[in-house]
Chain A
Amino acid sequence: MKSFLTGASGYLGQRLAMKLAENGETVHALIRNPDAVKTLAHPNIKVFFGDVLDKEAIAKGMEGCDTVFHVAALARVWSKDSDDFYRVNVDGTVNVIGAAKELGISKFILTSSTGTIGPSLKLPNNEETPRWSSFNNDYEISKSLAEKELLKSVANGFPGLIVMPSRIFGPGIASPSSGVNRIIIGFMKKGFAVIPKQSEVIGNYGFIEDIVMGHILARDKGVIGEKYILGGENKTLGELFEAIKNGVNKNGWILKIPLWPLSYFSQFSKFLAERFGLEPKITPDLVKRLTQNSAFDCSKAVSQLGYQITPFEEAIEITIRFLTQSEKP
């Protein structure tokens, strides 16, 4: 099997490329940054330079492939020009779908995000849960527009489907994409972490190894036009930080503070970002998400794809072990 993979220099894409290559499959990897070549050193991986706005590069890389994993996205909460999100995530997806149509690709897997479904109420969200909350940021909006584009093509016979990872963590190249990894690194360096007092807010934390496997399972068993949530266990913020503390440094501190200083700080950061183009450390929508549950139910992927979830404690342990090694000076 020969697969074309966009975003192969990213946190998730790199892991997926290596996994496919290790399984003996051929991967055509599209990357933007030439420095990333060394992270994709495997005889089964053929690197193509370009990005998702470059139709020629896409067509060249996809030539001769059977399946496409469209993983590339601008995955962050802020960009100096908000239209970047729409260009990369929406127009980029349209470009990759367009090439796949021309080349008669047999299966197309779009990597979206549980962020498009949004926060949960009392029960965990699933693939069918309608979005009740307003959008938090341009990333979420652009990813749901990308989903719409894919489903539009599916309605016209295109063999596409969607996978939606939740908050992803685990071993991988250094990247801002994993908030949990960054929290662990911060805790290792400083020995303490600051979290809001309302620490019973639930999130879903997906282990990268599971999510990589989920992508491959979706390609092999996924039904065209369907969405599959690829996540992990639902845990409260308090449980997440306890697990990190226990794994990194039992004598570390978890400082619980009220939300309002964070809220004011985030608004100030946003002001600086809008006015002077300084990248904000925290944004108001991140603070808002700290007050909303984001529990997800992965049972559709488990029952229909055979998706497996590594127990949370074990996944955190593996991640801490990896980051302790890789963060050594």
Chain B
Amino acid sequence: MKHFVLITGASEGLGKSFAIEAAKKGMDLFLVSLPSTGLPGLCGLIRSNFDVLVDFLELDLCSEQSCIQLIAYVKSNNYPISFLINNAGVGGNYRFSDENFSTFDKMIQLNIKAFIMITHGLLDVLQSQESAFILNVSSMIAYYEGPFKQVYGATKSFIYYFSNSLRQELKNTHVHICVLTPAGIKTNINQFRICHYLGMFSKLSYLEPEYVAGMAIEKCLQKENKIIPGKLSRLIFLFSALLPHFIKEKLMQNTNTEIFNAQNSFKRI
């Protein structure tokens, strides 16, 4: 069956890789991202290289109005969306007391509110397809609480819980929900450079967005429920289940502090 996929946050990082990998698999695309982030150029590139339909909207999903506009646009065009990739999100490592509330507000608006509005608003479109899939991008940190990612991590836990809960609710429909929990991905120049400052394990578990996007789409279509990309990350995940809580907490503290410091030493150069 030919899928029609909607991808949010499609102009950069993992979202861009989702768009390219979906096009390679022959899916029609509807891409959404912030204005002036190069989305028209990306759509042009995909159109000229692949025989697929491509449409896009440039919107800031942090605003409620934009989410409503997006849903209305899909419905008025009768796009038969059969695959929804909820990828848009903002993150970062911050000391809670030092950061402006607006940073955290944005995370909540985009990672939680827009995510829920779009999923809720388009569920009927997905349900009216022969079979449909929702792929939600959470994070490995949903499994491990650590410092400097309080709000970001909580939004990713939200996505994780929501996905697993709604999957059970939709058990007897033909909409399948899958949640992706990746560790580090080299999505942009900053991530690439931060990676150099990390320890052996963190460094080796960093993945390329093309790989993560390709495998996540495939596993989702195979109706997997939870996806952890990367052999090393899966190994660490399995192994960590055997560790006592206080050791796990210590390790998370070390890892997150390492990333926090890496980000700051990188900024100095």
A residues with a Cβ closer than 8 A to B are: 82-83, 86, 121-123, 128-130, 132-135, 138, 141, 145, 271, 274-275, 288
Contacts and interface: CB of A to CB of B under 8 A. Distances in A.
Contacts of B49: 121-123
B186 A121 contact: no
23 contacts: A82-B193, A86-B269, A121-B20, A121-B50, A122-B49, A122-B50, A123-B48, A123-B49, A128-B41, A130-B38, A130-B41, A130-B45, A132-B20, A132-B45, A134-B186, A134-B187, A134-B210, A135-B186, A135-B189, A138-B193, A145-B189, A274-B203, A288-B208
Contact of A82 (B16, B41, B196, B209): B196
Nearest to A133: B210
Chain B residues touching A, range: 20 to 34
B205 interface: no
Nearest to B187: A134
A75 B52 CA distance: 38
A141 B189 contact: yes
A130 B45 CA distance: 7
A20 to B, nearest CB: 35
Contacts of A275: 200
B15 to A, nearest CB: 12
Interface in B180-211: 186-187, 189, 192-193, 196, 200, 203-204, 208-210
Interface string B37-79: 0100110010011100000000000000000000000000000
A86 B210 CA distance: 25
Chain B facing A: main interface SS: helix
Contacts of B86: none
Closest 8 CB pairs of A and B: A121-B49, A130-B41, A122-B49, A82-B196, A134-B209, A141-B189, A132-B20, A130-B38
B45 A129 contact: yes
A275 B204 CA distance: 12
B17 interface: yes
Contacts of A271: 204
Contacts of A134: 17, 186-187, 192, 208-210
A133 B13 CA distance: 9
Given A82-B196, A123-B49, A135-B186, 6 more contacts: A83-B269, A123-B48, A130-B45, A132-B20, A141-B189, A141-B193
> Which of B16, B192, B200 has the largest number of chain A CB atoms within 10 A?
B192
A4 B50 CA distance: 45
Nearest to B19: A132
A86 B268 CA distance: 12
A291 to B, nearest CB: 10
A121 B48 CA distance: 10
Contacts of B187: 134
Given A83-B269, A274-B203, A135 B45 contact: no
Contacts of B204: 271
